[in-house]
Amino acid sequence: MMVCGGTAFAQSPQKIDPRKALVYRIATNDRIRIGVFQEPDLDMIARVDMKGTVNLPLLGTVSVSDLTIPEAEMVVENSYKEQRYLRNPEVTISVEQYTPREISIQGQIGSPGRYVLPIEQTMSVLELVTKAGGLTGTAHGKKVAITRINPDGTKQVFEEDVESLIKGKNKDKVQDSSLILLPGDIVYIPQRMF
């Protein structure tokens, strides 16, 4: 259930498959442009605050964080309809400035540290390992761990065999082994035990 300007809307839960490309979702600190067709007084640019909301004319605070652009447009349109300000509003939203989305890679890697995810594109674990300078000579690339904190606070840990992908093995499983990274993911490459 999502509350927008005092009005509650049912939101269908969407499971995110981490192994597939993702649609861009509005994030905290994004600066977005909101336009209402034939209502120039309602057009504005707003930054998504720490609560995931924007303050809109007539409506007050509306929650848009973690929504796709079409979902956010629908929420704003429904808010104007529900509060009876506009009969059939047509809302367009675009992102003016994206918040940097970071991931981190640690352990037996050439250049450990934080890396910025590309905007509206995906990055796989293999691509991150390559960007971070590759596995060291003592890396256990068959047991790369990816830790993800979900929006509900639960933690997931995935394990990937990056070494086989680098060496060209398991070609039939390339799609299964190219986990798509999400903002905040932590990738850890352990040391091989001799």
CATH (domain of 163): 3.10.560.10
Residue 168 vs residue 47, higher pLDDT: 47
Neighbours of 151 (CB within 10 A): 8
- Each residue of 31-45: pLDDT tens digit? 999 999 999 999 999
- Residue 95 pLDDT grade (very low, low, confident, very high; cuts 50, 70, 90): very high
Q: Contact, 62 vs 77, CB < 8 A?
A: no
Q: Is residue 32 one of the residues assigned to a domain? A: yes
Q: Are both 50 and 114 inside the same structural domain?
A: no
Neighbours of 42 (CB within 10 A): 20
Phi, psi values for residue 108, rounded to 5°? -85, 75
Measure Cα distances from 84 to 81, 88, 118 in Å: 5, 10, 39
Which range, of 6-10, 108-112, 117-121, 139-143, averages the lowest pLDDT?
A: 6-10
Q: Are both 106 and 93 inside the same structural domain?
A: no
**pLDDT confidence of residue 20:** 46
pTM of the model: 0.65
Q: Are both 47 and 117 inside the same structural domain?
A: no
Q: Are both 37 and 24 inside the same structural domain?
A: yes
Q: Is 109 helix (H, G, I), strand (E, B) or coil?
A: strand
Q: Report the helix count and the strand count for the chain, using DSSP H and E.
A: 3, 12
Please say if the pLDDT value at position 19 is more than 70: no
**pLDDT confidence of residue 11:** 41
Mean pLDDT of 135-157: 86
Closest-CA residue to 71 (of 104, 33, 130, 24): 24
Q: Are both 92 and 165 inside the same structural domain?
A: no
Which range, of 26-40, 48-62, 109-123, 159-173, averages the lowest pLDDT?
A: 159-173
Q: Are both 50 and 117 inside the same structural domain?
A: no
Q: Average pLDDT of the chain?
A: 82
Q: Is residue 50 one of the residues assigned to a domain? A: yes
Please say if the pLDDT value at position 142 is more than 90: no
In the chain, the N- to C-terminal Cα span, in Å, equals: 52
Q: Are both 82 and 122 inside the same structural domain?
A: no
Q: Are both 140 and 70 inside the same structural domain?
A: no
**pLDDT confidence of residue 62:** 93
Q: Are both 160 and 135 inside the same structural domain?
A: yes
* Residues of the domain holding 88: 16-97
